[in-house]
């Protein structure tokens, strides 16, 4: 007997609570719960407000969300069109290895193409086994690129350093 049908669609405002729960489950699985600072109300405002900052693709089976891909738009003066980043991809463990992740990625790519994006990008931790899927569907590592993040205490200290740097330079 085959797996029940799965629907891949764009998320609606009614999906926000389940999307938020999926993000928490993803963070817990990655031992990264400390990185989820936004509330469900923040998600509702940022996804469904007058100027949405992200959209989501969802996988639904038997009336429940079993997976998601979150797309965030950014802009670069070097490119024509919006740049879309897949910020998160998550499929509930019981539904993995059945094509759900691939379908989410395909729908996200279709959304990006429909918005006029020249490409879609994603970042992934080097130890994440999903990298095999990303490479199978055509994602390629960016040669010579590394991701850096300025965060936490170093972020606060450096941001405060402008006064010192400006004084030193006579600005």
Note the pLDDT tens digit of each residue in 103-124: 999 999 999 999 999 999 999 8
Q: Which residue has the higher pLDDT, 46 or 5?
A: 46
Could you count the other beta carbons within 10 Å of the beta carbon of residue 54? 16
> Which two tokens mark 64?
């429940």
Instruction: Identify the helix (H) or strand (E) that includes residue 54.
Output: strand 54-61
Q: Which residue, 84, 93, 148, is CA-closest to 114?
A: 84
> Rounded mean pLDDT of 119-146?
91
Q: For residues 168 and 85, which has the higher predicted lDDT (pLDDT)?
A: 85
Per-residue confidence band for 146, with pLDDT thresholds at 50, 70 and 90 = confident
- Round to whole Å and give the CA distance between 82 and 71: 11
pTM: 0.86
Summarize the confidence of residues 64-70 as an average pLDDT.
Answer: 97
Maximum pairwise Cα distance, the chain = 75
Range 83-93 average pLDDT: 94
Average pLDDT over every residue of 116-139: 92
| Sheet bearing 64-74, strands edge to edge | 7-10, 54-61, 64-74, 83-91, 120-122
CATH class of 7-145: alpha beta
Mean of per-residue pLDDT scores for the chain: 90
Q: What's the pLDDT score for residue 75? A: 86
pLDDT at residue number 107: 96
Position 161 confidence tier, pLDDT thresholds 50, 70, 90: confident
Give me the residue spans of the domains in the chain. 7-145
Is 65:58 a contact under the CB 8 Å cutoff? yes
Q: How many residues does the chain have?
A: 171
Distance CA 154, CA 137 (A): 37
Helix, strand or coil, per DSSP, at residue 46: helix
> What pLDDT is recorded for position 96?
93
- What DSSP element (H or E) covers 120? strand 120-122
- pLDDT by residue (tens digit) across 14-27? 999 999 999 999 98
Measured between alpha carbons, how far is residue 60 from residues 81, 87, 96 in Å? 30, 19, 13
pLDDT at position 1 is: 45
**Is the pLDDT at 34 greater than 60, yes or no?**
yes
Q: Is 27 helix (H, G, I), strand (E, B) or coil?
A: helix
pLDDT attached to residue 81:
84
């Amino acid at each position: 007997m085959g797996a029940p049908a799965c629907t891949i669609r764009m998320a609606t405002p009614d999906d926000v609570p389940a999307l938020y729960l999926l993000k928490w489950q993803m963070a817990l699985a990655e031992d990264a719960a400390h990185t989820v600072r936004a509330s469900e109300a923040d998600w509702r405002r940022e996804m469904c407000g007058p100027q949405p900052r992200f959209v989501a693709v969802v996988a639904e089976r038997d009336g429940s969300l079993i997976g998601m891909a979150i797309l965030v738009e950014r802009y670069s003066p070097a490119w024509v069109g919006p740049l879309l980043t897949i910020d998160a991809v998550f499929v509930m463990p019981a539904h993995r290895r059945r094509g759900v992740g691939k379908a989410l990625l395909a729908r996200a790519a279709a959304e990006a193409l429909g918005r006029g994006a020249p490409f879609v990008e994603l970042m992934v931790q080097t130890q994440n086994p999903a990298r095999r899927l990303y490479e199978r569907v055509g994602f390629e590592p960016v040669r010579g690129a590394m991701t850096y993040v300025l965060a936490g205490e170093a972020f606060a200290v450096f941001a405060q350093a402008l006064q010192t740097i400006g004084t030193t330079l006579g600005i």
